[in-house]
């Protein structure tokens, strides 16, 4: 596995994938690699104008569908028109943005990165035949989720802490989903992945001077978006990817390189806390999992 590349993706002919946020960056590279391996890919995107050129480049194996994870009405509309897939890849996300709220009043990062994907997965899971892959980040390490103020209504907003919280929530969700699927005797599995330090459009949205440094870092230090997509592709396609595991790059302290099992903050293994986050997420999104 240490030298795993897109050349190792098994033939995906006849398999269907949904990739959220596939209009650029990691999502676009993931969609391209899957289609190259024979898969049919639904690119679930908020910005259709940006998504369509990517789909055109991919060819007939790619279709575009409207999905705004910051609006639960959009999530439900997507689910109503969904007729099943083998794999759901929860890829879309925002990072370190100024204080904003989703259409449903959630803090934008938690609302998009976690709650939107939580609701989407709940609604689609009965028609997912193989696996769910949820994108986290090495920045989950700074996450300190406050269940009493998940949406930053009582505290002074800290954009990087909010991002870390949302990425810890992604990791906890993926692990909790894995355990619940196993306990239910489901054949479906749940994996989590992170891209290391990859150059994407995710950086440079803070609207602060930090954007200058992040764009510089993308040019000098980061690996490509295609490299960053490898852990996702491994989790989504490899027969060796295991339920509940967290995959990421294996070189330079997990920032780049071929995919492998990734370390993580052990807070993510707190099953009681994960259960509370799950229950709160169901309450906020008004969705329930059929497992």
Residues with a known catalytic role: 163
Give the integer Cα–Cα distance in Å for 231 and 250.
10
What are the residues whose beta carbons fall under 8 Å from the beta carbon of 25, sequence distance 6 or more? 198, 200, 201, 202, 225, 228
Alpha-carbon dihedral angle through residues 95, 98, 102, 107, given to the nearest 10 degrees: 80
Angle at 1 between CA 95 and CA 9, to 5 degrees: 75
Side-chain-side CA neighbours of 251 within 13 Å: the count stands at 13
Note whether 180 and 8 are within 8 A (CB).
no
Give the integer Cα–Cα distance in Å for 264 and 268.
8
Give the integer Cα–Cα distance in Å for 86 and 68.
21
Q: Which two tokens stand for residue 123?
A: 């609604």
Q: Burial, 283: exposed, middle or buried (Cβ in 10 Å; 0-12, 13-18, 19+)?
A: exposed
Give the integer Cα–Cα distance in Å for 97 and 94.
7
Q: Is 191 helix (H, G, I), strand (E, B) or coil?
A: strand
Give the integer Cα–Cα distance in Å for 208 and 212.
8
Residue 193: which of 8, 26, 40, 64 has the closest Cα?
Answer: 26
């Amino acid at each position: 596995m240490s030298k795993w590349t897109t050349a190792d993706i098994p033939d995906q002919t006849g398999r269907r994938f949904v990739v959220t946020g596939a209009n650029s960056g990691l999502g676009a590279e993931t969609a391209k690699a899957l289609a190259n391996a024979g898969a049919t890919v639904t690119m679930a995107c908020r910005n259709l104008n940006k998504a369509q050129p990517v789909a055109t480049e991919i060819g007939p194996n790619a279709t575009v569908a409207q999905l705004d994870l910051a609006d639960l009405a959009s999530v439900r509309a997507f689910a109503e028109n969904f007729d099943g897939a083998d794999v759901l890849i929860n890829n879309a996300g925002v990072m370190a943005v100024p204080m904003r709220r989703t259409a449903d009043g959630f803090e934008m990062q938690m609302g998009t990165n976690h709650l939107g994907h939580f609701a989407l997965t709940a609604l689609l899971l009965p028609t997912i035949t193989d696996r769910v892959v949820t994108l986290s980040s090495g920045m989950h390490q700074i996450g300190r989720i406050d269940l009493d103020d998940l949406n930053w209504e009582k505290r002074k907003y800290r954009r990087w802490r909010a991002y870390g919280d949302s990425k810890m929530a992604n990791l906890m969700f993926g692990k909790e989903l894995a355990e619940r699927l196993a306990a239910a005797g489901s054949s479906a599995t749940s994996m989590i992945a992170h891209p290391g330090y990859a150059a994407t459009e995710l950086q440079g949205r803070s609207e602060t001077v930090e954007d200058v440094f992040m764009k510089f870092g993308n040019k000098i230090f980061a690996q490509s978006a295609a490299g960053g997509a490898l852990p996702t592709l491994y989790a989504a396609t490899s027969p060796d990817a295991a339920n509940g595991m967290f995959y990421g790059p294996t070189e330079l302290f997990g920032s780049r390189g071929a995919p492998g099992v990734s370390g993580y903050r052990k807070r993510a293994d707190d099953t009681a806390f994960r259960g509370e986050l799950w229950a709160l997420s169901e309450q906020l999104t008004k969705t329930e999992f059929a497992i």
